[in-house]
Structure 1
Amino acid sequence: MKKVLFLAAFFSAYFSVQVHAQELKSEFLFDLEITVDPPQAIGPVLTGTRLIFPFKEGAVKSDKINGKILNCSGEWGLVTDPTTFKMDVRATIKTDDGALIYIAYTGYNYATAEKSALMRAGKGNELSPDEYYFRSVPVFETSAPKYAWLNHTIAVGVGRFPSPGKLIYRIYAIK
């Protein structure tokens, strides 16, 4: 009986303690502005419809990082269904002070089939950002000591379409 009472008291105390995770906090990291060339439509593949968007130009702007996107960059996106576009982006940032930062991200554009078709046709600017979901998860690699903190930074991007052929992401570091 003592064992039963002990176990009851132990489990009662153990399960009454509330365990809380840290609050999720974010901090603005930079704005990423990209101009894309018309897509190269690979077409239907095993997992959807592949569209490749070469980056024509781009810029990174903030008080922490400023630079440009090099022209070896692009998006190898996949239309998975009429409402969903899965991003697959790889790019190189050359900072104003000469450092190179590799950025890769995946994420999703999601909207109704009608609004998704507008986005794929380069007319996402005709929509309000409230009419679609546009999120990315960038990761970074660099050997530049000044920016080495990026190598272990989790980030989230919130995108929008300001004009035809242009994308803007607001990138946040998750603290």
Structure 2
Amino acid sequence: MFEYFDYDAIMVLTRAQKWSRILRYDSVYPELLLLSIMSEKLGIAFRALKSLGLSEEKVRAEVIRRLGTGQCNTFDELPFSRSAKCVIELAAQIGSKRVGTDHLLLAMIEDNTCSVPAILQTLGVDQELLRSRIAQLRQTEEIGEEPIIMPAINPMLPTIIRMLAWFLWKIR
């Protein structure tokens, strides 16, 4: 499924793993995907949220307020929570040829099993305005420019990405 995810979306998923470890959660939750969009500063989703006044600091504070901090202390790969899996699957359905950060964000807004819509509302983001802003940013994307798609040639790619993410986390 991840072969259709563009570079920005893959980086958001990887960063969500890191946030899960930093905050000591036992799984990767959709709220961490939202936080990752803001911390990676990549893609249409970030530009849309930033244009509506959000910052990484505001999102991080609200995510921690809602989820608290966990008790898990592991360096192993953490699984995606059930609701995060639903968000990722919905994003894959929304983005037919490629899946970007915009698709992940739209899927989070549509998912009623996570607190992302409530977080956005608390931070003063109107969902309809956000959808409109995403659509506007999609239209202003340069026509004909192909997004970077992660190649599906190497079956070891997910493992390599996880190892790279772990290494980068370790050296920070």
The TM-score normalised by the length of structure 2 is 0.24
Q: Which has the higher contact order (CA 8 A, sep 6+)?
A: 2
The TM-score normalised by the length of structure 1 is 0.24
Flag the structure with higher helix content. 2
Flag the structure with higher strand content. 1
